Structure 1
Protein backbone atom coordinates (compact mmCIF):
# COMPACT_ATOMS: atom_id res chain seq x y z
CA UNK A 1 0.00 0.00 0.00
CA UNK A 2 2.84 2.36 0.95
CA UNK A 3 4.63 1.63 -2.35
CA UNK A 4 1.41 2.30 -4.27
CA UNK A 5 0.93 5.66 -2.48
CA UNK A 6 4.47 6.81 -3.31
CA UNK A 7 4.11 5.73 -6.94
CA UNK A 8 0.75 7.49 -7.22
CA UNK A 9 2.18 10.69 -5.71
CA UNK A 10 5.14 10.66 -8.10
CA UNK A 11 2.77 10.16 -11.02
CA UNK A 12 0.68 13.18 -9.96
CA UNK A 13 3.81 15.33 -9.60
CA UNK A 14 5.02 14.28 -13.06
CA UNK A 15 1.68 15.18 -14.62
CA UNK A 16 1.65 18.59 -12.92
CA UNK A 17 5.20 19.34 -14.05
CA UNK A 18 4.37 18.36 -17.60
CA UNK A 19 1.33 20.62 -17.59
CA UNK A 20 3.17 23.64 -16.14
CA UNK A 21 4.66 26.01 -18.73
CA UNK A 22 8.34 26.74 -18.35
CA UNK A 23 8.50 30.45 -17.52
CA UNK A 24 12.31 30.35 -17.46
CA UNK A 25 12.53 29.45 -21.12
CA UNK A 26 12.60 33.03 -22.38
CA UNK A 27 14.92 35.88 -21.45
CA UNK A 28 12.33 38.69 -21.32
CA UNK A 29 8.61 39.27 -21.76
CA UNK A 30 8.99 42.19 -24.17
CA UNK A 31 11.35 43.20 -26.98
CA UNK A 32 11.49 46.66 -28.54
CA UNK A 33 13.51 46.68 -31.76
CA UNK A 34 14.49 50.15 -33.01
CA UNK A 35 15.94 50.25 -36.51
CA UNK A 36 17.62 53.27 -38.11
CA UNK A 37 17.74 52.98 -41.90
CA UNK A 38 21.15 53.90 -43.28
CA UNK A 39 22.97 54.10 -39.92
CA UNK A 40 26.58 53.13 -40.49
CA UNK A 41 28.68 51.83 -37.62
CA UNK A 42 31.50 54.18 -38.65
CA UNK A 43 29.43 57.08 -37.25
CA UNK A 44 29.03 55.87 -33.68
CA UNK A 45 32.30 57.17 -32.16
CA UNK A 46 31.70 60.65 -33.61
CA UNK A 47 27.96 60.94 -32.99
CA UNK A 48 26.32 62.90 -30.15
CA UNK A 49 23.93 60.13 -29.16
CA UNK A 50 23.92 59.93 -25.34
CA UNK A 51 20.88 57.67 -25.05
CA UNK A 52 22.29 55.11 -27.46
CA UNK A 53 25.73 55.27 -25.87
CA UNK A 54 24.19 54.69 -22.45
CA UNK A 55 22.63 51.52 -23.84
CA UNK A 56 26.07 50.49 -25.08
CA UNK A 57 27.50 51.04 -21.61
CA UNK A 58 24.66 49.20 -19.87
CA UNK A 59 24.51 46.21 -22.23
CA UNK A 60 26.41 44.63 -25.11
CA UNK A 61 27.14 45.76 -28.64
CA UNK A 62 29.11 45.26 -31.81
CA UNK A 63 30.01 47.76 -34.52
CA UNK A 64 30.87 44.92 -36.89
CA UNK A 65 27.49 43.41 -37.76
CA UNK A 66 27.53 42.90 -41.53
CA UNK A 67 24.70 43.57 -43.93
CA UNK A 68 23.69 41.03 -46.53
CA UNK A 69 24.62 41.99 -50.08
CA UNK A 70 23.69 44.22 -51.73
CA UNK A 71 23.91 46.62 -48.79
CA UNK A 72 20.48 48.12 -49.41
CA UNK A 73 17.19 48.48 -47.58
CA UNK A 74 14.57 45.85 -48.45
CA UNK A 75 17.03 42.98 -48.70
CA UNK A 76 18.46 43.80 -45.26
CA UNK A 77 15.21 44.55 -43.45
CA UNK A 78 13.99 41.23 -44.83
CA UNK A 79 17.11 39.46 -43.59
CA UNK A 80 16.76 41.14 -40.18
CA UNK A 81 13.19 39.86 -39.81
CA UNK A 82 13.48 36.54 -41.68
CA UNK A 83 16.57 34.94 -40.20
CA UNK A 84 18.12 34.20 -43.60
CA UNK A 85 19.79 35.92 -46.54
CA UNK A 86 18.55 36.76 -50.04
CA UNK A 87 19.56 33.37 -51.40
CA UNK A 88 16.78 31.89 -49.24
CA UNK A 89 14.15 34.59 -48.63
CA UNK A 90 14.46 35.85 -52.21
CA UNK A 91 14.31 39.64 -51.64
CA UNK A 92 17.33 40.90 -53.55
CA UNK A 93 16.90 44.63 -54.27
CA UNK A 94 16.70 47.87 -52.30
CA UNK A 95 12.96 48.22 -52.92
CA UNK A 96 11.81 44.60 -53.15
CA UNK A 97 8.11 44.18 -52.37
CA UNK A 98 7.94 40.56 -53.45
CA UNK A 99 10.82 38.10 -53.80
CA UNK A 100 12.72 38.22 -57.09
CA UNK A 101 13.89 34.68 -56.35
CA UNK A 102 11.37 32.06 -55.23
CA UNK A 103 11.44 31.94 -51.44
CA UNK A 104 12.84 28.59 -50.31
CA UNK A 105 9.74 27.99 -48.17
CA UNK A 106 6.48 29.84 -47.55
CA UNK A 107 4.46 30.00 -44.36
CA UNK A 108 0.67 29.81 -44.17
CA UNK A 109 0.47 33.50 -45.12
CA UNK A 110 2.42 32.93 -48.32
CA UNK A 111 5.61 34.67 -47.16
CA UNK A 112 9.02 33.48 -45.96
CA UNK A 113 8.90 32.80 -42.18
CA UNK A 114 9.49 35.90 -40.06
CA UNK A 115 10.21 36.30 -36.36
CA UNK A 116 6.79 37.94 -36.04
CA UNK A 117 5.08 34.80 -37.34
CA UNK A 118 7.17 32.56 -35.04
CA UNK A 119 6.04 34.58 -32.04
CA UNK A 120 2.42 34.60 -33.23
CA UNK A 121 2.44 30.81 -33.52
CA UNK A 122 3.87 30.45 -30.02
CA UNK A 123 1.73 33.16 -28.40
CA UNK A 124 -1.52 33.49 -30.38
CA UNK A 125 -2.84 36.29 -28.16
CA UNK A 126 0.38 38.33 -28.08
CA UNK A 127 0.34 42.00 -29.06
CA UNK A 128 2.84 42.30 -31.90
CA UNK A 129 3.40 45.56 -33.75
CA UNK A 130 5.48 47.29 -36.39
CA UNK A 131 5.59 51.06 -36.96
CA UNK A 132 7.57 52.61 -39.79
CA UNK A 133 8.23 55.61 -42.00
CA UNK A 134 9.23 53.82 -45.22
CA UNK A 135 6.27 51.99 -46.72
CA UNK A 136 8.57 49.26 -48.03
CA UNK A 137 8.71 47.78 -44.52
CA UNK A 138 5.13 46.48 -44.69
CA UNK A 139 6.03 44.04 -47.46
CA UNK A 140 8.72 42.38 -45.31
CA UNK A 141 7.12 41.83 -41.90
CA UNK A 142 4.24 39.42 -42.62
CA UNK A 143 1.47 41.84 -41.71
CA UNK A 144 -0.96 38.95 -41.19
CA UNK A 145 1.14 37.90 -38.19
CA UNK A 146 0.94 41.36 -36.63
CA UNK A 147 -1.65 42.79 -34.28
CA UNK A 148 -0.96 46.29 -35.58
CA UNK A 149 1.13 47.99 -38.23
CA UNK A 150 1.09 51.58 -39.40
CA UNK A 151 3.10 54.03 -41.48
CA UNK A 152 3.86 57.48 -40.11
CA UNK A 153 2.80 60.51 -42.17
CA UNK A 154 5.28 62.54 -44.24
CA UNK A 155 8.36 63.11 -42.10
CA UNK A 156 9.06 66.52 -43.63
CA UNK A 157 5.72 67.77 -42.32
CA UNK A 158 5.51 65.64 -39.15
CA UNK A 159 9.07 64.81 -38.01
CA UNK A 160 8.02 63.48 -34.59
CA UNK A 161 5.06 61.42 -35.80
CA UNK A 162 6.67 57.97 -35.69
CA UNK A 163 8.04 58.58 -32.20
CA UNK A 164 4.63 59.75 -31.00
CA UNK A 165 2.94 56.73 -32.58
CA UNK A 166 5.38 54.42 -30.78
CA UNK A 167 4.83 56.16 -27.43
CA UNK A 168 1.06 55.86 -27.72
CA UNK A 169 1.10 52.24 -28.87
CA UNK A 170 3.47 51.16 -26.10
CA UNK A 171 1.43 52.81 -23.37
CA UNK A 172 -1.92 51.59 -24.66
CA UNK A 173 -1.05 48.05 -25.80
CA UNK A 174 2.16 47.02 -23.96
CA UNK A 175 3.34 44.96 -26.96
CA UNK A 176 5.28 41.75 -26.54
CA UNK A 177 7.29 42.58 -29.66
CA UNK A 178 7.48 45.97 -31.35
CA UNK A 179 9.64 47.05 -34.27
CA UNK A 180 10.02 50.81 -34.83
CA UNK A 181 11.75 51.60 -38.13
CA UNK A 182 13.05 55.13 -38.65
CA UNK A 183 13.93 56.01 -42.25
CA UNK A 184 15.68 59.35 -42.17
CA UNK A 185 19.38 58.65 -41.67
CA UNK A 186 19.14 57.11 -45.14
CA UNK A 187 17.43 60.19 -46.61
CA UNK A 188 20.06 62.53 -45.18
CA UNK A 189 22.78 60.19 -46.41
CA UNK A 190 21.43 60.40 -49.95
CA UNK A 191 20.84 64.15 -49.88
CA UNK A 192 23.64 65.70 -47.81
CA UNK A 193 25.91 62.66 -47.63
CA UNK A 194 27.15 60.23 -45.05
CA UNK A 195 29.63 61.40 -42.44
CA UNK A 196 28.45 65.01 -42.79
CA UNK A 197 27.25 67.54 -40.17
CA UNK A 198 23.69 67.03 -41.42
CA UNK A 199 23.98 63.27 -40.94
CA UNK A 200 25.23 63.63 -37.36
CA UNK A 201 22.49 66.18 -36.60
CA UNK A 202 19.92 63.60 -37.72
CA UNK A 203 21.42 60.94 -35.45
CA UNK A 204 21.26 63.36 -32.52
CA UNK A 205 17.59 64.03 -33.27
CA UNK A 206 16.80 60.31 -33.44
CA UNK A 207 18.63 59.70 -30.17
CA UNK A 208 16.14 62.03 -28.50
CA UNK A 209 13.25 60.05 -30.01
CA UNK A 210 14.74 56.82 -28.70
CA UNK A 211 14.88 58.38 -25.22
CA UNK A 212 11.17 59.13 -25.50
CA UNK A 213 10.40 55.55 -26.53
CA UNK A 214 12.33 54.27 -23.51
CA UNK A 215 10.34 56.59 -21.27
CA UNK A 216 7.12 55.24 -22.78
CA UNK A 217 8.25 51.72 -21.87
CA UNK A 218 8.85 52.94 -18.31
CA UNK A 219 5.46 54.62 -18.19
CA UNK A 220 3.83 51.39 -19.39
CA UNK A 221 5.40 49.50 -16.47
CA UNK A 222 7.34 47.23 -18.85
CA UNK A 223 10.93 48.35 -18.32
CA UNK A 224 12.09 45.58 -15.99
CA UNK A 225 10.82 42.90 -18.39
CA UNK A 226 12.01 44.46 -21.66
CA UNK A 227 15.03 43.98 -23.91
CA UNK A 228 15.89 46.82 -26.29
CA UNK A 229 17.70 46.25 -29.58
CA UNK A 230 18.97 49.21 -31.62
CA UNK A 231 20.37 48.41 -35.04
CA UNK A 232 20.31 49.25 -38.76
CA UNK A 233 19.86 47.72 -42.19
CA UNK A 234 22.98 49.18 -43.84
CA UNK A 235 25.39 52.11 -43.71
CA UNK A 236 26.64 54.25 -46.55
CA UNK A 237 29.47 56.13 -48.21
CA UNK A 238 29.31 59.61 -49.72
CA UNK A 239 25.69 59.83 -50.99
CA UNK A 240 24.95 56.17 -51.59
CA UNK A 241 25.06 52.55 -50.50
CA UNK A 242 24.64 49.10 -51.95
CA UNK A 243 28.32 48.33 -52.44
CA UNK A 244 30.94 46.29 -50.66
CA UNK A 245 32.80 48.87 -48.55
CA UNK A 246 32.84 48.40 -44.79
CA UNK A 247 31.16 51.79 -44.29
CA UNK A 248 28.21 50.46 -46.29
CA UNK A 249 28.18 46.97 -44.79
CA UNK A 250 28.96 47.41 -41.10
CA UNK A 251 26.09 48.46 -38.83
CA UNK A 252 25.69 48.70 -35.06
CA UNK A 253 23.89 46.10 -33.01
CA UNK A 254 23.18 47.25 -29.46
CA UNK A 255 21.25 45.19 -26.94
CA UNK A 256 20.37 46.08 -23.35
CA UNK A 257 17.77 45.27 -20.73
CA UNK A 258 16.40 42.23 -18.93
CA UNK A 259 18.96 39.39 -18.64
CA UNK A 260 21.50 41.12 -20.91
CA UNK A 261 25.06 41.22 -19.61
CA UNK A 262 26.76 44.54 -19.06
CA UNK A 263 29.67 43.25 -21.10
CA UNK A 264 30.34 46.02 -23.60
CA UNK A 265 31.70 45.39 -27.07
CA UNK A 266 31.79 41.89 -28.50
CA UNK A 267 33.68 40.75 -31.57
CA UNK A 268 32.00 37.45 -32.43
CA UNK A 269 30.88 37.39 -36.04
CA UNK A 270 27.35 38.73 -36.53
CA UNK A 271 25.29 38.97 -39.69
CA UNK A 272 22.04 40.80 -40.42
CA UNK A 273 19.96 37.63 -40.18
CA UNK A 274 21.32 36.93 -36.70
CA UNK A 275 19.02 39.68 -35.39
CA UNK A 276 15.92 37.55 -36.00
CA UNK A 277 17.59 34.55 -34.41
CA UNK A 278 18.52 36.56 -31.33
CA UNK A 279 14.93 37.79 -30.90
CA UNK A 280 13.66 34.23 -31.34
CA UNK A 281 16.12 33.09 -28.66
CA UNK A 282 14.90 35.80 -26.27
CA UNK A 283 11.36 34.42 -26.53
CA UNK A 284 12.42 30.78 -26.44
CA UNK A 285 11.21 30.14 -29.99
CA UNK A 286 12.44 27.32 -32.16
CA UNK A 287 13.92 28.46 -35.45
CA UNK A 288 12.56 27.03 -38.69
CA UNK A 289 15.03 24.76 -40.46
CA UNK A 290 15.34 27.23 -43.35
CA UNK A 291 16.75 29.98 -41.13
CA UNK A 292 20.54 30.28 -41.07
CA UNK A 293 20.82 32.97 -38.39
CA UNK A 294 22.52 32.33 -35.07
CA UNK A 295 21.49 33.94 -31.78
CA UNK A 296 24.09 36.02 -29.97
CA UNK A 297 23.83 33.87 -26.85
CA UNK A 298 27.01 35.27 -25.35
CA UNK A 299 25.34 38.60 -24.53
CA UNK A 300 22.84 37.07 -22.11
CA UNK A 301 23.11 36.22 -18.42
Structure 2
Protein backbone atom coordinates (compact mmCIF):
# COMPACT_ATOMS: atom_id res chain seq x y z
CA UNK A 1 0.00 0.00 0.00
CA UNK A 2 2.81 2.45 0.91
CA UNK A 3 4.48 1.88 -2.46
CA UNK A 4 1.32 3.26 -4.12
CA UNK A 5 0.69 6.18 -1.72
CA UNK A 6 4.19 7.70 -1.85
CA UNK A 7 4.33 8.10 -5.64
CA UNK A 8 0.81 9.57 -5.67
CA UNK A 9 1.76 11.99 -2.91
CA UNK A 10 4.83 13.10 -4.84
CA UNK A 11 2.77 13.56 -7.98
CA UNK A 12 0.30 15.77 -6.10
CA UNK A 13 3.12 17.93 -4.75
CA UNK A 14 4.60 18.26 -8.23
CA UNK A 15 1.21 19.20 -9.66
CA UNK A 16 0.84 21.98 -7.11
CA UNK A 17 4.19 23.46 -8.05
CA UNK A 18 3.29 23.35 -11.72
CA UNK A 19 -0.12 24.96 -11.14
CA UNK A 20 1.00 27.85 -8.95
CA UNK A 21 3.37 30.44 -10.43
CA UNK A 22 6.27 30.96 -8.04
CA UNK A 23 9.24 33.23 -7.67
CA UNK A 24 12.33 32.17 -9.58
CA UNK A 25 15.72 33.48 -10.56
CA UNK A 26 15.63 36.51 -12.82
CA UNK A 27 16.32 36.08 -16.53
CA UNK A 28 17.96 39.52 -16.63
CA UNK A 29 18.76 42.42 -14.32
CA UNK A 30 17.16 45.07 -16.54
CA UNK A 31 14.16 45.36 -18.86
CA UNK A 32 13.69 48.25 -21.26
CA UNK A 33 10.18 48.32 -22.76
CA UNK A 34 9.77 50.59 -25.79
CA UNK A 35 6.17 51.17 -26.87
CA UNK A 36 5.15 52.80 -30.15
CA UNK A 37 1.55 54.02 -30.02
CA UNK A 38 -0.43 53.02 -33.10
CA UNK A 39 2.17 50.68 -34.60
CA UNK A 40 0.40 48.01 -36.61
CA UNK A 41 2.12 44.69 -37.25
CA UNK A 42 1.13 44.83 -40.93
CA UNK A 43 3.75 47.57 -41.41
CA UNK A 44 6.82 45.65 -40.26
CA UNK A 45 7.74 43.83 -43.50
CA UNK A 46 7.54 47.08 -45.48
CA UNK A 47 9.15 49.42 -42.95
CA UNK A 48 12.75 50.69 -43.07
CA UNK A 49 13.52 49.96 -39.41
CA UNK A 50 17.00 48.39 -39.26
CA UNK A 51 17.51 48.71 -35.49
CA UNK A 52 14.18 47.09 -34.70
CA UNK A 53 14.77 44.37 -37.27
CA UNK A 54 18.18 43.69 -35.74
CA UNK A 55 16.46 43.07 -32.39
CA UNK A 56 14.07 40.73 -34.22
CA UNK A 57 16.97 38.83 -35.78
CA UNK A 58 18.81 38.57 -32.47
CA UNK A 59 15.77 37.50 -30.44
CA UNK A 60 12.19 36.31 -30.82
CA UNK A 61 9.07 38.03 -32.07
CA UNK A 62 5.49 37.73 -33.19
CA UNK A 63 3.50 39.95 -35.53
CA UNK A 64 0.25 38.47 -34.24
CA UNK A 65 -0.05 39.83 -30.71
CA UNK A 66 -3.67 40.94 -30.38
CA UNK A 67 -4.99 44.00 -28.66
CA UNK A 68 -7.96 43.89 -26.35
CA UNK A 69 -11.14 45.61 -27.51
CA UNK A 70 -11.59 48.41 -28.23
CA UNK A 71 -8.31 48.50 -30.14
CA UNK A 72 -7.36 51.94 -28.86
CA UNK A 73 -4.87 53.55 -26.53
CA UNK A 74 -5.64 53.72 -22.79
CA UNK A 75 -7.46 50.40 -22.65
CA UNK A 76 -4.51 48.64 -24.28
CA UNK A 77 -1.70 50.42 -22.44
CA UNK A 78 -3.57 49.50 -19.26
CA UNK A 79 -3.82 45.87 -20.34
CA UNK A 80 -0.11 45.82 -21.26
CA UNK A 81 0.86 47.07 -17.79
CA UNK A 82 -1.88 45.39 -15.74
CA UNK A 83 -1.80 41.78 -16.92
CA UNK A 84 -5.56 41.65 -17.53
CA UNK A 85 -8.23 42.95 -19.89
CA UNK A 86 -10.80 45.73 -19.49
CA UNK A 87 -13.33 43.35 -18.00
CA UNK A 88 -11.04 43.15 -14.95
CA UNK A 89 -9.01 46.37 -14.78
CA UNK A 90 -11.99 48.49 -15.84
CA UNK A 91 -10.33 50.93 -18.27
CA UNK A 92 -12.50 50.65 -21.36
CA UNK A 93 -12.00 53.73 -23.56
CA UNK A 94 -9.19 55.26 -25.62
CA UNK A 95 -8.67 58.09 -23.14
CA UNK A 96 -9.57 56.43 -19.83
CA UNK A 97 -7.99 58.11 -16.81
CA UNK A 98 -10.00 56.19 -14.24
CA UNK A 99 -11.84 52.88 -14.66
CA UNK A 100 -15.30 53.08 -16.18
CA UNK A 101 -16.00 49.69 -14.59
CA UNK A 102 -15.02 48.95 -10.98
CA UNK A 103 -11.59 47.32 -11.01
CA UNK A 104 -11.85 43.72 -9.81
CA UNK A 105 -9.33 44.48 -7.07
CA UNK A 106 -7.25 47.48 -6.01
CA UNK A 107 -3.72 47.53 -4.64
CA UNK A 108 -2.60 49.65 -1.70
CA UNK A 109 -2.33 52.68 -3.99
CA UNK A 110 -5.95 52.38 -5.08
CA UNK A 111 -5.27 51.12 -8.60
CA UNK A 112 -5.46 47.73 -10.31
CA UNK A 113 -2.15 45.84 -9.82
CA UNK A 114 0.51 46.78 -12.37
CA UNK A 115 3.85 45.24 -13.28
CA UNK A 116 5.49 48.31 -11.75
CA UNK A 117 3.84 47.72 -8.39
CA UNK A 118 4.65 44.00 -8.48
CA UNK A 119 8.32 44.76 -9.00
CA UNK A 120 8.29 47.49 -6.35
CA UNK A 121 6.75 45.15 -3.78
CA UNK A 122 9.36 42.49 -4.50
CA UNK A 123 12.31 44.87 -4.75
CA UNK A 124 11.73 48.06 -2.74
CA UNK A 125 15.08 49.55 -3.77
CA UNK A 126 14.68 48.95 -7.52
CA UNK A 127 14.94 51.89 -9.91
CA UNK A 128 11.69 51.84 -11.90
CA UNK A 129 10.85 54.48 -14.48
CA UNK A 130 8.31 55.48 -17.09
CA UNK A 131 8.84 58.20 -19.71
CA UNK A 132 6.15 59.20 -22.19
CA UNK A 133 4.81 61.73 -24.66
CA UNK A 134 1.09 61.16 -24.15
CA UNK A 135 -0.07 62.41 -20.77
CA UNK A 136 -2.65 59.62 -20.54
CA UNK A 137 0.09 57.12 -19.72
CA UNK A 138 0.56 58.46 -16.19
CA UNK A 139 -2.96 57.37 -15.21
CA UNK A 140 -2.22 53.74 -16.09
CA UNK A 141 1.19 52.98 -14.56
CA UNK A 142 0.66 53.44 -10.79
CA UNK A 143 3.01 56.41 -10.40
CA UNK A 144 3.35 55.74 -6.67
CA UNK A 145 5.25 52.57 -7.57
CA UNK A 146 7.71 54.42 -9.79
CA UNK A 147 11.05 55.91 -8.88
CA UNK A 148 10.74 58.41 -11.72
CA UNK A 149 8.17 59.39 -14.32
CA UNK A 150 8.08 62.32 -16.71
CA UNK A 151 6.29 63.60 -19.78
CA UNK A 152 8.35 64.85 -22.70
CA UNK A 153 7.72 68.37 -24.01
CA UNK A 154 5.62 68.97 -27.11
CA UNK A 155 6.72 66.53 -29.79
CA UNK A 156 6.08 68.95 -32.65
CA UNK A 157 8.67 71.36 -31.22
CA UNK A 158 11.04 68.82 -29.67
CA UNK A 159 10.73 65.53 -31.59
CA UNK A 160 13.86 63.97 -30.03
CA UNK A 161 13.08 64.97 -26.44
CA UNK A 162 11.70 61.64 -25.23
CA UNK A 163 14.61 59.73 -26.71
CA UNK A 164 17.08 62.10 -25.05
CA UNK A 165 15.26 61.76 -21.73
CA UNK A 166 15.49 57.97 -21.97
CA UNK A 167 19.20 58.09 -22.87
CA UNK A 168 20.02 60.32 -19.90
CA UNK A 169 17.92 58.31 -17.44
CA UNK A 170 19.47 55.02 -18.52
CA UNK A 171 23.02 56.34 -18.21
CA UNK A 172 22.41 58.05 -14.88
CA UNK A 173 20.22 55.51 -13.08
CA UNK A 174 20.66 52.11 -14.82
CA UNK A 175 16.98 51.30 -14.18
CA UNK A 176 15.77 47.82 -13.36
CA UNK A 177 12.60 48.44 -15.40
CA UNK A 178 12.01 51.33 -17.79
CA UNK A 179 9.00 51.92 -20.04
CA UNK A 180 9.48 54.46 -22.84
CA UNK A 181 6.17 55.24 -24.54
CA UNK A 182 6.33 57.11 -27.85
CA UNK A 183 3.07 58.72 -28.98
CA UNK A 184 3.74 58.11 -32.66
CA UNK A 185 3.01 56.69 -35.20
CA UNK A 186 -0.51 57.18 -33.84
CA UNK A 187 -0.67 60.90 -34.65
CA UNK A 188 0.60 60.36 -38.18
CA UNK A 189 -1.96 57.60 -38.61
CA UNK A 190 -4.76 59.98 -37.66
CA UNK A 191 -3.47 62.88 -39.76
CA UNK A 192 -2.00 61.31 -42.92
CA UNK A 193 -3.33 57.78 -42.53
CA UNK A 194 -1.95 54.39 -41.62
CA UNK A 195 0.06 52.51 -44.23
CA UNK A 196 1.05 55.77 -45.97
CA UNK A 197 4.47 57.17 -46.93
CA UNK A 198 4.22 59.58 -43.98
CA UNK A 199 3.53 56.68 -41.63
CA UNK A 200 6.60 54.76 -42.81
CA UNK A 201 8.75 57.88 -42.59
CA UNK A 202 7.71 58.19 -38.95
CA UNK A 203 8.56 54.54 -38.28
CA UNK A 204 12.02 55.13 -39.74
CA UNK A 205 12.51 58.11 -37.42
CA UNK A 206 11.33 56.16 -34.39
CA UNK A 207 13.64 53.29 -35.31
CA UNK A 208 16.58 55.68 -35.01
CA UNK A 209 15.43 56.46 -31.45
CA UNK A 210 15.28 52.73 -30.66
CA UNK A 211 18.87 52.48 -31.86
CA UNK A 212 19.89 55.37 -29.63
CA UNK A 213 18.23 53.77 -26.60
CA UNK A 214 20.03 50.48 -27.26
CA UNK A 215 23.29 52.42 -27.52
CA UNK A 216 22.54 54.18 -24.21
CA UNK A 217 22.16 50.77 -22.57
CA UNK A 218 25.56 49.81 -23.99
CA UNK A 219 27.11 53.05 -22.77
CA UNK A 220 25.65 52.44 -19.30
CA UNK A 221 27.36 49.04 -19.15
CA UNK A 222 24.02 47.25 -18.92
CA UNK A 223 23.81 45.49 -22.27
CA UNK A 224 24.80 41.99 -21.16
CA UNK A 225 22.15 42.04 -18.42
CA UNK A 226 19.28 43.69 -20.33
CA UNK A 227 16.21 42.44 -22.16
CA UNK A 228 14.61 44.77 -24.71
CA UNK A 229 10.91 44.61 -25.54
CA UNK A 230 9.53 46.64 -28.44
CA UNK A 231 5.77 46.57 -28.89
CA UNK A 232 2.60 48.65 -29.36
CA UNK A 233 -0.82 49.26 -27.91
CA UNK A 234 -2.77 48.93 -31.16
CA UNK A 235 -2.51 49.37 -34.93
CA UNK A 236 -4.80 51.28 -37.25
CA UNK A 237 -6.59 51.47 -40.57
CA UNK A 238 -7.08 54.47 -42.82
CA UNK A 239 -7.11 57.37 -40.31
CA UNK A 240 -8.51 55.59 -37.29
CA UNK A 241 -8.44 52.71 -34.85
CA UNK A 242 -10.62 51.13 -32.21
CA UNK A 243 -12.35 48.62 -34.46
CA UNK A 244 -12.15 44.92 -35.13
CA UNK A 245 -9.90 44.66 -38.20
CA UNK A 246 -6.59 42.84 -38.00
CA UNK A 247 -4.78 46.04 -39.05
CA UNK A 248 -6.07 47.60 -35.84
CA UNK A 249 -5.75 44.58 -33.55
CA UNK A 250 -2.44 42.94 -34.46
CA UNK A 251 0.72 44.52 -33.09
CA UNK A 252 4.37 43.44 -32.99
CA UNK A 253 6.01 42.00 -29.90
CA UNK A 254 9.79 41.85 -30.16
CA UNK A 255 12.00 40.59 -27.35
CA UNK A 256 15.79 40.40 -27.42
CA UNK A 257 18.71 40.30 -25.03
CA UNK A 258 19.92 38.34 -22.01
CA UNK A 259 18.63 34.74 -21.97
CA UNK A 260 16.30 35.29 -24.95
CA UNK A 261 16.39 32.63 -27.63
CA UNK A 262 17.46 33.65 -31.11
CA UNK A 263 14.41 31.90 -32.48
CA UNK A 264 12.97 34.52 -34.79
CA UNK A 265 9.22 34.39 -35.24
CA UNK A 266 7.04 32.47 -32.78
CA UNK A 267 3.45 31.50 -33.50
CA UNK A 268 2.01 30.83 -30.05
CA UNK A 269 -1.02 32.97 -29.25
CA UNK A 270 -0.21 36.23 -27.47
CA UNK A 271 -2.50 38.90 -26.07
CA UNK A 272 -1.80 42.43 -24.89
CA UNK A 273 -1.96 41.47 -21.21
CA UNK A 274 0.69 38.78 -21.73
CA UNK A 275 3.31 41.54 -21.86
CA UNK A 276 3.03 42.22 -18.10
CA UNK A 277 3.16 38.51 -17.36
CA UNK A 278 6.26 38.07 -19.50
CA UNK A 279 8.03 40.91 -17.66
CA UNK A 280 7.00 39.40 -14.32
CA UNK A 281 8.47 36.09 -15.47
CA UNK A 282 11.74 37.79 -16.44
CA UNK A 283 12.09 39.16 -12.91
CA UNK A 284 10.97 35.94 -11.21
CA UNK A 285 7.85 37.59 -9.76
CA UNK A 286 4.67 35.85 -8.66
CA UNK A 287 1.84 37.42 -10.63
CA UNK A 288 -1.42 38.40 -8.88
CA UNK A 289 -4.27 35.91 -9.02
CA UNK A 290 -6.42 38.51 -10.79
CA UNK A 291 -4.06 38.70 -13.76
CA UNK A 292 -5.00 36.51 -16.70
CA UNK A 293 -1.83 37.05 -18.72
CA UNK A 294 0.55 34.22 -19.58
CA UNK A 295 4.32 34.64 -19.89
CA UNK A 296 5.84 33.79 -23.26
CA UNK A 297 8.19 31.27 -21.65
CA UNK A 298 9.06 29.69 -24.99
CA UNK A 299 11.22 32.68 -25.98
CA UNK A 300 13.72 32.15 -23.14
CA UNK A 301 16.71 29.88 -22.80
User: What TM-score do the two structures reach when normalised by structure 1?
Assistant: 0.92
Aligned to 2:14: none
The one-character-per-residue Cα deviations of 1:26-52 (angstroms, maximum 9, x if unpaired) are: 100000000000000000000000000
Question: 1:134-283 alignment to 2 at 5 Å?
Answer: 134-283=134-283
Distance change (3 Å), C-alpha of 1:299 and 1:250: same
TM-align CA RMSD: 0.8
Unaligned segments of structure 2, at least 5 residues: 1-22
Question: 1:12-27 alignment to 2 at 5 Å?
Answer: 25-27=25-27
User: Secondary structure of 1:269's partner?
Assistant: coil
Aligned to 2:132: 132
Q: CA deviation at 1:279?
A: 0.1
Distance 2:199 2:32 in 1: 24
Distance 1:26 1:173 in 2: 20
Distance 1:250 1:273 in 2: 13
Unaligned segments of structure 1, at least 5 residues: 1-22
Q: Is the 8 A contact 2:48 2:204 kept in 1?
A: yes
Distance 2:66 2:24 in 1: 31
Q: CA deviation at 1:95?
A: 0.1
Aligned to 2:87: 87
Aligned to 2:73: 73
Distance 2:26 2:125 in 1: 17
Distance 1:24 1:243 in 2: 39
Q: Find runs of 4+ consecutive structure 1 residues off by over 2 angstroms.
A: none
Distance 1:46 1:219 in 2: 31
Q: CA deviation at 1:24?
A: 6.8
Q: Which has the larger radius of gyration?
A: 1
Q: Is the 8 A contact 2:259 2:300 kept in 1?
A: yes
Q: Is the 8 A contact 2:37 2:183 kept in 1?
A: yes
Q: CA deviation at 1:244?
A: 0.2
The one-character-per-residue Cα deviations of 1:93-141 (angstroms, maximum 9, x if unpaired) are: 0000000000000000000000000000000000000000000000000
Q: CA deviation at 1:184?
A: 1.5
